[in-house]
Structure 1
Amino acid sequence: MSRRSPAARVNAPPTRPATVRGAEPGAAWATVCFRPPYTGALPREAGFRGGPACVVWRTRAAHGPALVRFDALPVTERGCAYRYPAPCLHGPGRFPCDTHLRADADGPAELREHADVLVGRVPRAVTEARRRVRVLLAEHPGCLAAVVPCLGAGCVAGVRRATGEPWCVRLERGGPPAAASPQAVASVVHAWVAGGGSPGALRAVVPAFAG
């Protein structure tokens, strides 16, 4: 499967609906907005099951907010429909908003084949997590980013470089019980790279609220 450049992916029109059988709740459209409205109604959930997640991305020199929204793929008797979610209703900021398909790394093969982001559910030792990320990217040429949670804390994020070789780093995602979910971390990593950010700059994706 050929892969478009990050810029082409950001500027491309919505994809047409498709259908994949055997879908599980682990698959969703993920929308990352780097201009979330700061209001009292902001979600305080750190996990993807609680709805949108408000997180903070960090580099050595800067930080900023991001709102990650997940729209689960509706499952019908014919399979799982790829209905494109509504876009953010504001102009572009420092980074463009990004919408991509996230899937469970151990989910149905048809979903993994179409996914832009793959997320492992089982925490692993750092060395094993790095190996798993590299395998996921190698086996799924249409996938730009993969994340596997680590035992204890953090997660390993991998990004496919232009050469095809993966780039991996261990990212902080906050401490328990308020750690950002691996799903939210993976989506921010994808949005960051698709928007032109250097994957090597990211150091953490943590909840915007401590509790």
Structure 2
Amino acid sequence: MSTHHRVALATAVATVVLVVVDLVVSLVTGERTVITDDTQGPAAAGALMSVWLGLTFAALAAVVRGERAAFAAAPRAARWVRRPLLVGLVALAVGLTVVNPVQLLAGIDSGTFYDASGLVALLCLLAVFVSVLVLGLALLRRNPLGIGGRILALVGPVIGATVLLAVVAPDLASPVFVTATVVLGIATLGLRPASSAAAADPEGAGERQPV
């Protein structure tokens, strides 16, 4: 497993655990935590959580950048969405690690810059989710992106299930399920099971012996 996969998986799993904890707390108490609502605690706590989320997006961006060769072997639609996905992840990483913490610590909650940064963040988030949705669909027939491609193929069904849940059990409906699928899917793009990797490169599976 490459370094960018290790870092991305570690941050992604930790982030998923955090948002699941937030979901459980909200179901029990009816209120969100600082994990997803930076108004639910001190500004410093909100800023710290924002930085962590930014680092998670940065780690995911490193995977998309590092798996360029795998994307090159993917269907055309998958290759097309790689760039907007990468740009969206990088922009979100910068916003969450720099812009949002500064606004929180400075007490900025209105004004032109606040509104503009919020709009940019929304557009970047939309770019990421649309990109992974297209990517998942593009990889249904041919998937050179390994485990991540399989996970991202579930984004559409998970969105559908979340919408259905919002109708039949509104209290349980949450974007957490889609978020977890997206984050874990991107973190594992290009990552293959050990058996598949060995089958793809049988000569490189073991250490060569001197002649």
- Structure 2 length-normalised TM: 0.26
**Rg: which structure is higher?**
2
Structure with a larger share of its residues in helix = 2
Please report the TM-score for the alignment, with normalisation by the length of structure 1: 0.26
